[in-house]
Structure 1
Amino acid sequence: MSAELICVIVLGLMFVIGTWRDINMGLLGFVAAAGVGGLVLHQAPEEFLAGFPVDLFLALVGLTYLFGFAQNNGVIEVIVHWCVRLVGGRTSLMPWIFFALTAILIALGALFAVAIIAPLALSFARKHRINQFMVGLLVVHGALAGAFSPISVYGIFINDYLAKNGLTPTPLSLFLAPLIFNLIFALVVYFVLHRRPGLRAEADDALSAETKSPDSGSPEIQSPGTGNSAVKTDTVRLTRSQVPTLIGLIAMALSVLIFSWDVGIVTITIAIVLTFINPAAGKAAMTKVSWSVVILITGVLTYISVLQAAGTVEWVSAGISAIGIPLLAALLLFYMSGLISALASSLAIIGVVIALAVPFLESGDVHVGGFVAALAIAATIVDISPFSTNGAMLLANVHSTIRDRYYKQMIGYAGLMCLIGPGLAWVVAAVPTMLTT
């Protein structure tokens, strides 16, 4: 058996075992890199570990560390409250506030923006009898809309990978295509569902208790209302402990966007300053570092480096090119990405597909920017699936009395996205650029 085929079989086993037994695929990637690199390619440890992405590791740790402060000390909740006041307390506009907040947070590097906003959004929807499924979908689509900004985890990952492989990144198209695509989907969802009562928590006592005792930091609700009612809010001001965190977030965004400083070093530096100011807060924020995601991405990329050394990337790409029709090959890759991503990590599948498509992209038959933007959409539009990270975080915050029904609706919507999402991404983002190549 050839080394190339062994690498592909091991990669497939990683996805199957990781999904079936809920094992972090990054850990499997490190083991696979050692096994294939050491036993098949006869590499020394420093060789099969050479693909470990140090810069991306720093970015992931720094971003999740910094946002740990904001999540723990209530800065995010204060910002949500300000947004409620900004729209004059009109509940009909609040689903779009949650959409925008999730998009902005993840665009700035808050990888688990859905986990931050979903509890606030679903609690608000319950209290005001707003369609909870619609609100949940807008939160997830908001996350996907902002996920590929140049300073987000997704954006940094893809743009750096393209640059390191000699391909020209197109950060603006990578950011805008998913943003516009998900905004359109969110609009469709809103106009179809916002007038329907949707799922409501059937435990009246639980709802009454929530109305009397709102979540800490969330808008203060005086009385239940309809989707068009106004919300009375109490004045919320930043505390002394929250001010440095807010300044740190603003400084991070400005230094990276305006001065193009390294996001990993910047976020870690700001987090250290905040820890110096409040050591207890720093210790608590360190527990928010998304080590599972860090391990996932770095482990998969380490194994991808071994794939490249074995010649597997060129081998698979040659098979793709043998189809003879670049548009058809791209469509097959997009549907493969969407289906696998519904059950596994979007970042992992994006990394694998881009790696396999690099020689395919280098041929010039496919426009890099259009292909990558469409791939980003195809691999993430299915993230409402309860088996994906975003979908699971959303479902975890649904009231227990409606969770089963909510789960079934999520499955239905995820199935619809698997069916039409990759194809639409192919038509809208990939086909026009490929036809002009």
Structure 2
Amino acid sequence: MSHELISLAVLAVVFLVATIRGVNMGALALVAAYVVGLTVYDLEVDDILAGFPSELFVILVGVTYLFALAKNNGTVDWIVHGAVRAVGGRVALVPWAMFLVCAAVTAIGAVSPAAVAIVAPVAMGFAMRYQIHPVMMGMMVVQGATAGSFSPIGIFGSITNGVVDGNDLPGNQLFLFCSTFLAATLIAVITYLTLGGRQLIARGREDVQVGEMAAEAEAVSRQATHARTPGTPHSAVEATRTVGADDAEDDVTSLNPQRIVTLLGLLALMVGALGFDLDVGFTALTIAVVLTLVFPTSAKGAVEKISWGTVLLIGGIVTYVNLLQNQGVVDWLGDRVAEVGAPLVAALLICLIGAVVSAFASTTGIIGALIPLAVPFLLTDQVNAIALIAALAISSSVVDCSPFSTNGALVVANSEPADREMVFKRLMQWGMTIVVVAPIVVWGLMVVPTA
């Protein structure tokens, strides 16, 4: 077997083992890079580590550190409560409030599962209390998290744009964000109308207990902070009961100086990244450090809340892919794809692979791996690179509603016990349908017209 096939087989094994055994994919990929580099390519350790993505490391650390601070000082909770209050008694708008909250927090740098973990308990509790279909509510939460993730300072957007820039591919950050946002929104609209949205609209205004929702949101955020350690409540209702009187003075529904400064910092990050082409990672890190210096009390524990698991995942996957790239494996694979003889068919296969694997594995890892592997094919100009990258991003992310993915699993876990089997089955139906339909639709709408 050639060294190219061995290297790619090891990458497939990394994805398979990480999915089945629950081991961090990045850790496996780093070990794989070490073993393959030494045994297959006879490299030194320094040569292997040369592929570590230092720029992506700074981006991931910077944006997740800033989000941890925003979570610590209540800025994220303020956004959640503001969305709930904004709908007043309009129950029909609550699923869209949850959609927008998830989109907002992922757009400012939250990891998608973190946003779902924060919002899903509140959303699913609301669905039970006001007779909203739990699958519809869960889908709105997951697609909202997907919609915001490809912003220029979002995790998926930062990874995708970093890979594009690092491989000298043509990119368009605004097109990537808008196209993925619209795709997730379209799926949300279809879900909403299919699973009872019209009936909710017909119900009109109702007495929505915003204050109770606010208390639950605060309790759930504390629950997420403790990462479900032993003794931590496992439902929004249980969590609400654990909120003591010592928390009463922390009014998470109002702005205070810390939250105002944090919001201004997030706005400055977006303006700097979009308007002045500032480095996202270092800008986010700078704002986070300034917030830490100005408000040291609320910054306690924020460093520990940086998404180190995601940093390890991306660092490991990209290091391994860069090893393949440096050893010519990526060029070899691109040549094989190009030899298909039908560029559009090859583009469709890439999107389908991204959708299928992402439904069962890490979306973050897939985005970090598939785009570099497709670089040689993209450089042939047989298809529009900007369109295919956006299509691949959509195909790999909108399938996160699958119950086998982290986001889908969070929705199932936060459903009422009596509904969990039904929610699991329906999410599996929706997820598997999207796995097949989404790549074909985005390929037909985005890739084919630009070929």
TM-score (norm 2): 0.85
Instruction: Compare 355-364 and 97-106 and name the one that shifted more.
Output: 97-106
**Structure 1: gaps of 5 or more residues:** 199-207, 219-233
**Aligned residue in 2 for 1:202:** none
Inter-CA distance 197–275: structure 2 relative to 1 (3 Å threshold): same
Q: Is residue 92–residue 197 contact of structure 2 (8 Å, CA) maintained in 1?
A: no
- Aligned pairs for 1:151-300 (under 5 A) are 151-195=153-197, 214-217=215-218, 236-239=253-256, 241-300=258-317
Please tell me whether the aligned partners of residues 24 and 309 of structure 2 are also in contact (alpha carbons under 8 angstroms).
yes
Q: Sort the Cα spacing of 1:381 and 1:122 in 2 relative to 1 into closer, same or farther, 3 A.
A: same
Partner amino acid, structure 2, of 1:358: V
In 2, the alpha carbon distance for the partners of 1:195 and 1:309 equals 51
Asked whether 1:347 is paired with 2:347, we answer no
Of 130, 149, 152, the match for 1:150: 152
For 1:338 and 1:352, how far apart are their aligned partners in 2?
13
Unaligned 5+ runs, structure 2: 201-208, 220-250
Post-superposition Cα deviations, 1:30-74, rounded to whole Å, max 9, x if no partner, equal 111111112221211111111111111111112111111222333
SS at match of 1:284: coil
Cα contact 1:151–1:257 (8 A) shared by 2: no
Relative distance call for 1:212 and 1:96 in structure 2 (3 A) is closer
The alignment status of 1:310 with 2:311, answered yes or no, reads: no
SS of the equivalent of 1:282 reads: coil
Q: Kindly state the Cα deviation for residue 84 of structure 1 after the two structures are TM-superposed.
A: 3.0
Structure 1: distance between partners of 2:346 and 2:158: 26
Deviation at 1:308, TM superposition (A): 0.9
Q: In the alignment, what sits opposite 1:98? A: 98
Cα 1:371–1:215 shift into 2, 3 Å:
same
Match of 1:227 in 2: none
Identify which range, 61-70 or 236-245, moves more after superposition: 236-245
Q: Distance in 1 between matches of 2:213 and 2:31?
A: 52
Correspondence 1:53 to 2:50: no
CA distance in 1, matches of 2:130, 2:420: 18
Do structure 1's residue 327 and structure 2's residue 344 form an aligned pair? yes
CA deviations over 1:153-202 (Å, ceiling 9, x no partner) = 2112112212222211122221122111221111111111125899xxxx
Match of 1:392 among 392, 409, 422: 409
Task: Report the CA distance between 1:278 and its aligned residue.
Answer: 4.0
Cα distance, 1:152 vs structure 2: 1.5
- Provide the rounded CA distance (Å) in 1 between the counterparts of 2:68 and 2:417: 27
Contact 1:131 1:197 in 2 (8 A): no
Instruction: State percent identity of aligned pairs.
Output: 41
Shift of 1:393: 2.7
Residue 27 (structure 2) pairs with residue 10 (structure 1)? no
Corresponding position of 2:376 = 359
Give the equivalent residue in structure 1 for 2:142: 140
Structure 1 range deviating more: 277-286 or 57-66: 277-286
Q: What is residue 224 of structure 1 aligned with on the other side?
A: none
Q: CA deviation at 1:240?
A: 5.0
Question: Residues 253 and 345 from structure 1, CA distance in 2 versus in 1: closer, same or farther, beyond 3 angstroms?
Answer: same
Q: 1:360 to 1:130 in 2, by over 3 A?
A: same
Query: 2:152, 2:273 within 8 Å by CA — same for their partners in 1?
Result: no
| RMSD (Å), alpha carbons | 2.5
Equivalent pair of 2:72/2:299 in contact (CA under 8 Å): no
1:281–1:235 Cα change, 3 Å: closer
**Which among 118, 121, 129 is matched to residue 119 of structure 1?**
121
> What does the per-residue CA deviation read over 1:223-243, in whole Å, with 9 as the maximum and x for residues that have no partner?
xxxxxxxxxxx9932245544
Q: Which structure has more helix as a fraction of its residues? A: 2
List per-residue Cα deviations over 1:241-299 (Å, max 9, x = no partner). Answer: 54443343333333333333222222222222332344443232223211111111110
Q: Which moved more, 1:52-61 or 1:125-134?
A: 125-134
Deviation at 1:216, TM superposition (A): 4.8
Opposite residue 16 of structure 1, the aligned amino acid is L
User: Structure 1 residues 195, 168: CA separation in 2 closer, same or farther (over 3 Å shift)?
Assistant: closer
TM-score (norm 1): 0.87
Amino acid at match of 2:118: I
Distance change >3 Å, CA 175–CA 240, structure 1 → 2: closer
> What is the 5 A alignment of 1:405-420?
405-420=422-437
2:418 equivalent in structure 1? 401
Structure 1: distance between partners of 2:15 and 2:56: 22
List structure 1 segments (4+ residues) > 4 angstroms apart after TM superposition.
195-198, 210-214
Letter aligned with residue 64 of structure 2 = T
Displacement after TM superposition at 1:328 (Å): 0.9
Pair 1:193–1:3, CA change in 2 (3 A): same
Q: What amino acid does structure 2 have at the position aligned with 1:77? A: D
Which residue of structure 1 aligns with residue 68 of structure 2? 68
The answer to whether residue 20 in structure 2 is matched with residue 20 in structure 1 is: yes
1:326 shift after superposition: 0.7
Can you list the C-alpha shifts for 1:296-318, whole angstroms capped at 9, x where unaligned? Answer: 11100000111012211111112
Greater mean alpha carbon deviation, residues 3-12 or residues 252-261: 252-261
User: What amino acid maps onto 2:378 in structure 1?
Assistant: L
